[in-house]
Amino acid sequence: MTTKGRRVSRREQHRIGGTGASVTVRNTLIAYAFMLPFLILLVVYHTWPVIFGSYLAFTKYNIISPPQWVGLDNFRELFADEQFWSGLRNSLKYVLVVPVIQVISILVALLVNRPLRGIGFFRTAYYVPVVTSFAVVGLIWSWLYKQGGAVNSVLMGLGLMRGDHSLLDNPATALFAVMFVTLWKGIGYYMVLYLAGLQGISRELEEAATIDGATRSQVFWNITLPGLRPTILVCSLLSTISAIKVFEELYVMTPNGYPAGSTYSALMYSFSKAFGGDFNFGLAAAASMVVAVVSILFGLINFRLTKGGRSDA
């Protein structure tokens, strides 16, 4: 339809005057004029960081003097730094959030997909954490995690915790405490995506299976879940990449790797090298590059695991 439309419109352009060539040149100029402001900012703030960032990883640079090529020195320094390894390990640990958040989000989506009275309220309520800033929810949760705070009361009430110590003050639990906040904030987001996925699955198919005597769990495993596969691919990809790039929640809740440097992530390491006082932009860029490579690898693994999101698999 579009192709046909275009052909007609070109004929019309001939009719209103102008030769074919001049119309095309003029059209091209107009088209680029429309896109120019967008493209300039895109190149400056999106393309340039990818190019210049990759270059910086092989230089010594502190903004004041021009970058100096140092080859692989930054990477050598990086891999010799225990702090970086600990950050990278934490970023990989953070990927544990992915399966948990996806399973819970699918279950929640199934729950709020039921035609119950007042279900709109629950959908809205679950989405509220998504629209609030990590600056705010990070602060709120660090209050809730305080000694004698709400989280500890609940955990001790359930008998899951002895001794009233803040989870954020303990190097063994701090990272997991922040992970829980990531989970809490992300469920609503993925729930909405899974809801959209569920709405794309044919009702008739599920009903037909039920009439033919399939049980609820059979319908779920054989129709609903395969139908959700494309959504699962997209969601787990998004959530894996953001897990490896985890930064904001740690920045707010456990600044500077608190406690005892136990909560550095790979990206936070990069951040601290650039903005932590020594302006080592080369090393920071090298660390960012490692994070980028790791997130691409994990993206590919993810793609394989979900069989490319094909719903017929």
Partner 1 sequence: MPDTTLPQTALVSDPHAQLAAQLKVQRQRRERLRNAAAYAVLILIALIMLYPFYWTLVTSLEPTGNIYEAKILPTALSLRNYLEVFSGTTVPFWRLILNSVIICVLGVTFTTTLATLAAYPLARMRFPGRDLIFYSILILMVLPNEAGLIVNYITTIKLGLLAQTSPLADAARQYLAVVLPGAASIVGLFLLRQAYLGIPQELIEAARIDGARELTIWRRIMLPLATPTIAAFAILEFVAYWNSFLWARVMLPDKNMLPLSAGLLELSGTFSTNSRAVMAGAVITIIPILIVFLMGQKYFMKGLEGAVKG
Site for partner 1 in 259-278 (CB under 8 A): 267, 270-271, 274-275
- Residue 202 burial by CB count (10 A; 0-12/13-18/19+): exposed, middle or buried? exposed
Integer CA distances (angstroms), 238 to 156, 161, 206, 233, in order: 34, 33, 28, 9
Residue 6 touches partner 1, criterion: CB under 8 A = yes
Residue 291 burial (CB count, 10 A): 23
Which of 87, 186, 188, 257 touches partner 1 by CB under 8 A? 188
Using CB under 8 A as the criterion, what x/- string covers residues 117-156 for binding partner 1? --x-xx-xxxxxx-xxxxxxx-xxx-xx-xxxxx--xx--
Give me the amino acid identity at 183: L
Residue 182 touches partner 1, criterion: CB under 8 A = no
**Closest approach of Cβ 27 to partner 1, in Å?**
6
**Closest approach of Cβ 274 to partner 1, in Å?**
5
Which of 92, 161, 193, 214 touches partner 1 by CB under 8 A? 193
Reported as type and span, the H/E element at residue 59 is strand 59-60
Residue 60 touches partner 1, criterion: CB under 8 A = no
Which of 35, 72, 300, 305 touches partner 1 by CB under 8 A? 35
Q: Which is nearer to partner 1, 119 or 208 (CB)?
A: 119
Integer CA distances (angstroms), 86 to 32, 62, 245, 267, in order: 47, 25, 14, 11
Q: Write the DSSP symbol of residue 45.
A: I
Q: Which of residues 89-108 bind partner 1 (CB under 8 A)?
A: 108
